[in-house]
Amino acid sequence: MSGKITFVGAGPGDPELITLKGAAALREADTVVYAGSLVNEKILELAGHAEFHNSAKMSLDEVLTILKRDYLAGKMVVRLHTGDPSVYGAVGEQFHLLDQAGIPYTVIPGVSSVFAAAAALQTELTMPEISQTVILTRDAGRTPVPEKESLELLAAHGSTLCIFLSVSDMEKLCRKLLAAGRSPDTAAAVVYRASWENELIVRGTIADIASKVAEAGIKRQAMIVIGDVLRKDGALSKLYDSEFATGYRHHKFRGQTAVFALTRQASLKAAEIASGLSDAVLFVPEKFADAVPSLHTSSFAAGKFGETLDSNWRNYDAFVFVMAAGIAVRHIGKLCEDKKRDPAVVVCDEKGNYAVSLLSGHIGGGNALAHDIARITGGQAVITTASDVQKLPAFDVFAEEHHCVIETPETLTGIAAAVVNGEPVEVEMSARLFEANFAGYPDVTLVKERTDGLILVRSGGSELRLHQPRFVLGIGCRKGITADRIGEVVDAVLEKAGFFPEDLCAIASAEVKREETGLLEFARKMNLPLQFFPAEKLNAVEVPNPSQAAERNLGIRSVSEASALLAAGENARLYVEKQRCGDVTAAIAGGNHGS
């Protein structure tokens, strides 16, 4: 019986940075051929009983001889490389010779030193607006590099450079970077033995890194990273920009979702969808439960789909069925009651090409969920509700999204029908709400500006009355904070809590912040009045999250929550409890508008 050859990435040095699969291969190994000084010998302890060969002292032929011999003798052979085998691991020639000999092998990846270095530097190698490309390369030394890949040419791109095997002549390397047109003040760092006990980090710029590295005495076993991504004050990642919707952020649907599948392929797609949604449980047939990579999974026995669905129908805000629409329709038909109670339902094919909003598209959020799913799968949302298709305003959605109380639910349908039929619509609401939501619709006219929280919508003889509480944003902040920083935190808080800037009527804080220029500027930018409250008033308010630090420093138990509650008026309650993000706290309270 023949054995098995496995190439394993040992990781950058720290013995805990080998993969679980790599460690398992070592535990089974009879023979280990490891790549010299950059493989931590502690990792070899995993293969306690094996025979070890250090390939640093061997020729390629000698390595191959051992691999082949032990393979043919039926042994488990591990060829252990530092970092990941595929970068500067000289595995290509070994693969080639094994292929020629007709000997099979598998490869288990590892954590490359480039990533251990990035981790040590606590940097992102790809920062929006600075560099979206990483070049892994080496300088020409004893091993030449192809002419078109000379550092002078590669560096000219301005992308992040991670340079292996080249720390021995930093002077020459930096000269090449400058010759490529990189500015001398471009950030540069060198990480010696990343993730080892004697790891050493040197930071500087292209102008001074060579001398700093010489001073530190680093001559080998180091990663060179060049690029302004090393400056963390670069552009904020667009990923966190509230305007920027990626598959895994900016969920428009809020609520708990059950995702059902019946076949193996559909179960895998359903797992992908469930893990992309903010709050979802996956339901798959028992026999596929082990195959799906999902944390929150329930399974049902063969033939029990219908029963499982029936008993869960009232437990979730939405259902996603990754299956033929017919199966879903036949099952949910008997469960549907009315549009204010029914959960949202979206059906998706098992390739994720289409996400069809089937039920409760508006109030229930089915359309939003279909859009979310389409973003996750890269497919297309299929929406059939008329107002969306005709790009008309939907006041039921508006009411839901802006936390309004619907005082006349019986007129919702009449208004919706009038809107879809092209009747003109007259509204009364705050100018902020109108501007942000309806200014682009030619058939909707603001006939009266209101400041009392009432929202009136008239069309085709129906009148819809909504009421929006007086929402106030309470802010606490450190001294000297900038308006931009406050803006950043507030954007994130609003987004997470499902509020829009136009929902806010005022900003509130503590009296001691009256001269805080960043806060004043932020309020001006938001175009909102600012209200301040003295310590004794703030301290008289019961809040869920008082702060001992604020009490010590300012003599105030709560700034954001208490000031928001005070400014929100009668019957105020917290809609968003205190959110802390570094040097800013924010909370939102809503109450009655004063007369």
Q: How far is the CB of 583 from ligand SAH (least distance, A)?
A: 34
Tell me the C-alpha to C-alpha distance, in Å, between residue 76 and each of 24, 48, 53, 103. 12, 13, 14, 13
Instruction: For the segment 36-55, give every residue that binds ligand SAH (CB under 6 A).
Output: 38
CA 518 to mean position of chain CA atoms: 29
Q: How far is the CB of 435 from ligand SAH (least distance, A)?
A: 54
Give the residue with the Cβ less far from ligand SAH, 194 or 328. Answer: 194
Instruction: For the segment 2-21, give every residue that binds ligand SAH (CB under 6 A).
Output: 12-13
Measured distance CA(556)–CA(551) in Å, rounded: 4
From 59-67, 76-84, 383-391, 560-568, give the range in contact with ligand SAH by CB under 6 A.
Answer: 76-84
Interface pattern 406-445 for ligand SAH (x via CB under 6 A): ----------------------------------------
Tell me the C-alpha to C-alpha distance, in Å, between residue 154 and each of 133, 149, 378, 398, 430. 11, 6, 33, 52, 56
From 191-199, 436-444, 470-478, 534-542, give the range in contact with ligand SAH by CB under 6 A.
Answer: 191-199
Give the residue with the Cβ less far from ligand SAH, 10 or 481. Answer: 10
**Using CA of residue 220, residue 222, residue 228, residue 233, what is the dihedral sign?**
negative
From 220-228, 359-367, 498-506, 522-530, give the range in contact with ligand SAH by CB under 6 A.
Answer: 220-228
Instruction: Identify the three-state secondary structure at position 520.
Output: helix
Measured distance CA(591)–CA(344) in Å, rounded: 30
228's tokens: 């302004």
Residue with tokens 């979310």: 372
Instruction: For the segment 330-349, give every residue that binds ligand SAH (CB under 6 A).
Output: none
Closest CA to 6 of 112, 108, 109: 108
Give 452-479 as a 3 state SS string.
Answer: CCEEEEEECCEEEEEECCEEEEEEEECC
Instruction: For the segment 264-323, give every residue that binds ligand SAH (CB under 6 A).
Output: none
228 binds ligand SAH (CB under 6 A): no
Measured distance CA(192)–CA(167) in Å, rounded: 9
Residue with tokens 């309806």: 438
From candidates 6, 40, 112, 360, binder to ligand SAH by CB under 6 A: 112
Strands (E), 277-421: 280-285, 297-300, 318-322, 344-348, 354-359, 380-382, 405-406
- Residues in Cβ contact with 125 at an 8 Å cutoff, skipping those fewer than 6 apart: 118, 131, 134, 160, 162, 225, 227, 229
Closest CA to 230 of 288, 273, 187: 187
Measured distance CA(340)–CA(327) in Å, rounded: 24
Instruction: Identify the three-state secondary structure at position 68.
Output: helix
Residue facing ligand SAH at closest CB distance: 83
Give the residue with the Cβ less far from ligand SAH, 223 or 564. Answer: 223
From candidates 221, 267, 357, 585, binder to ligand SAH by CB under 6 A: 221
Q: How far is the CB of 136 from ligand SAH (least distance, A)?
A: 9
From 21-29, 172-180, 189-197, 326-334, give the range in contact with ligand SAH by CB under 6 A.
Answer: 189-197
Q: How far is the CB of 187 from ligand SAH (least distance, A)?
A: 18
Give the residue with the Cβ less far from ligand SAH, 82 or 94. Answer: 82
Give the residue with the Cβ less far from ligand SAH, 88 or 522. Answer: 88
Q: Where are the alpha helices (DSSP H) in 257-405?
A: 264-276, 305-312, 325-332, 366-377, 386-389, 395-401
Measured distance CA(113)–CA(116) in Å, rounded: 5
Q: How far is the CB of 156 from ligand SAH (least distance, A)?
A: 22
22 binds ligand SAH (CB under 6 A): no
Strand-pairing partners, residue 504, are 471
- Residues in Cβ contact with 360 at an 8 Å cutoff, skipping those fewer than 6 apart: 318, 339, 342, 343, 344, 345, 366
Instruction: For the segment 78-97, give every residue that binds ligand SAH (CB under 6 A).
Output: 81-84, 87-89
Q: How far is the CB of 119 from ligand SAH (least distance, A)?
A: 11
Give the residue with the Cβ less far from ligand SAH, 105 or 196. Answer: 196
246's tokens: 């990626």
From candidates 135, 145, 165, 554, binder to ligand SAH by CB under 6 A: 165
Give the residue with the Cβ less far from ligand SAH, 71 or 164. Answer: 164
From candidates 6, 31, 113, 430, binder to ligand SAH by CB under 6 A: 113
Instruction: Identify the three-state secondary structure at position 32.
Output: strand
From 187-195, 280-288, 290-298, 360-368, give the range in contact with ligand SAH by CB under 6 A.
Answer: 187-195
Decide: 305 and 312 in contact? Cβ < 8 Å: no
Give the residue with the Cβ less far from ligand SAH, 87 or 506. Answer: 87
Decide: 546 and 558 in contact? Cβ < 8 Å: yes
From candidates 7, 164, 300, 398, binder to ligand SAH by CB under 6 A: 164
195 binds ligand SAH (CB under 6 A): yes
Give the residue with the Cβ less far from ligand SAH, 115 or 288. Answer: 115
Q: How far is the CB of 221 from ligand SAH (least distance, A)?
A: 5
Q: How far is the CB of 25 from ligand SAH (least distance, A)?
A: 17
116 binds ligand SAH (CB under 6 A): yes
Give the residue with the Cβ less far from ligand SAH, 198 or 548. Answer: 198
Q: How far is the CB of 193 from ligand SAH (least distance, A)?
A: 5
Q: Which residues bind ligand SAH (CB under 6 A)?
A: 12-13, 38, 81-84, 87-89, 112-113, 116-117, 164-165, 191, 193-196, 221-223
